[in-house]
Amino acid sequence: MKGIHHHFRSSMAYTILLALLVSCSSYRAPESFDDKMDRFQAKMQGQNQVPKFTISNKSAQVAMSKTAAARNPASIQSNIKSESKYSNKRLYFLSLYFEYESMRKLTSQTTKDIKICPHFHSGIVENRSYLNEIQKSSSHTAWMKELAEKATQAITNDGDVALQEFPILSLPINNTVESATVYDTYQKKHDSLVKLFDDAILLHANNTHSELEELCEYGTSDNYFIYENLVTYSQNNKLVPSQQSFEVLLRTTLVSNFFLEKAILGQYDKGRGPASQSGSNPYLYPGLGRLDATWAMEYLTAYFDKNKK
């Protein structure tokens, strides 16, 4: 009976945390009426909503068992320590910026540059050579055809399972309040999944660009407050390795974006391994370090690598 009560309290705590992250994400310091209207209009042009991915319980169990036995390499701990001088906002911005640059390579369509960034200009300058290497690398769109073929077969077999195995199916295709997802649109119209994938990644990239512009101009964003609230929460409530903890982390753009990239490239690109993917963003580990949740990287690797053929 004692164990049941403990489990109930733990479940309730995570439920309250999820509600807190969403409700507190819109917090703003006092502003003038004109400032508030300007912010509202900017957000209406393209708010960066965190996609709602479906987690596979089976994959989560396998990942959890492997994560429990793993340890973070010393190089990761060193990376976290070396970035300790950065503020939470700076780490969040730089990690999101690197994720955006990687994301741009996943669509065949034209994406936007960040041209002016008064709040984080020095951070961009410090990382310019590294960012240039990513920007000059070739686009990686070969995944679309192969992924579309596998996703089509999975949808035919079982739509619910397909949503768990192919997170890209959960991406929205427009910025309306109740946007249809790639999966919804395919089921209704049977449009080409290759085209739907490309359009969904472009929209996701554009929304991420909008958030980066908001961070550059105002120094903060709604999604940053979700991250900041979670940092505060984790100081007194450790996010222990578990499926529940990971689902909480998925509410942040940093983990959500990496989850999506891992799903696209980690399973199907035979020429690019997990190490090179995580290595393309030197600020993600430190960003998770602020949450004491670097275990999430090993978790993601195990979550998707188990499906490699």
Q: What is the pLDDT of residues 33-84, one digit of tens each?
A: 334 334 333 343 346 788 899 888 888 888 888 887 655 554 444 444 456 6
Q: Identify the pLDDT of residue 186.
A: 94
Asked if residue 99 lies in contact with residue 257, where contact means CB atoms within 8 angstroms, the answer is: yes
Distance, in Å, from the CA atom of 191 to the CA atom of 183, rounded to the nearest integer, reads: 10
The confidence band for 23, taking pLDDT boundaries of 50, 70 and 90, is low
Q: Identify the pLDDT of residue 119.
A: 96
Top pLDDT among 129 and 284 is at 284
Which residues have a Cβ under 8 Å from the Cβ of 62 and sit 6 or more positions away? 302, 303, 306
Top pLDDT among 152 and 84 is at 152
Q: Identify the pLDDT of residue 18.
A: 62
Q: Identify the pLDDT of residue 194.
A: 93
Q: Identify the pLDDT of residue 257.
A: 94
Q: Identify the pLDDT of residue 118.
A: 96
Provide mean pLDDT across the span 232-245.
91
The SS3 of residue 172 is: strand
Top pLDDT among 309 and 19 is at 19
pTM: 0.79
Q: Identify the pLDDT of residue 70.
A: 59
Nearest 5°: the CA angle 18, 245, 96 is 80
Q: Of the ranges 74-88, 172-186, 281-295, which is most confident?
A: 281-295
Q: Tokens representing 185?
A: 């649109």
Which residues have a Cβ under 8 Å from the Cβ of 67 and sit 6 or more positions away? 241, 295, 298, 299, 302
The confidence band for 30, taking pLDDT boundaries of 50, 70 and 90, is very low
pLDDT tens-digit map of 104-122: 989 999 999 998 999 999 9
Average pLDDT of the residues of the chain: 79
Q: Identify the pLDDT of residue 303.
A: 85
Q: Identify the pLDDT of residue 206.
A: 94
Q: Tokens representing 102?
A: 């990687």
Q: Tokens representing 116?
A: 């002016």
Q: Identify the pLDDT of residue 44.
A: 39
What are all long-range contacts of 184-193, with beta carbons under 8 Å and residues at least 24 apart? 186/155, 187/155, 187/159, 192/148, 193/147, 193/148, 193/151, 193/152
Domain locations in the chain as residue ranges:
88-305
Q: Of the ranges 188-192, 198-202, 295-299, which is most confident?
A: 198-202
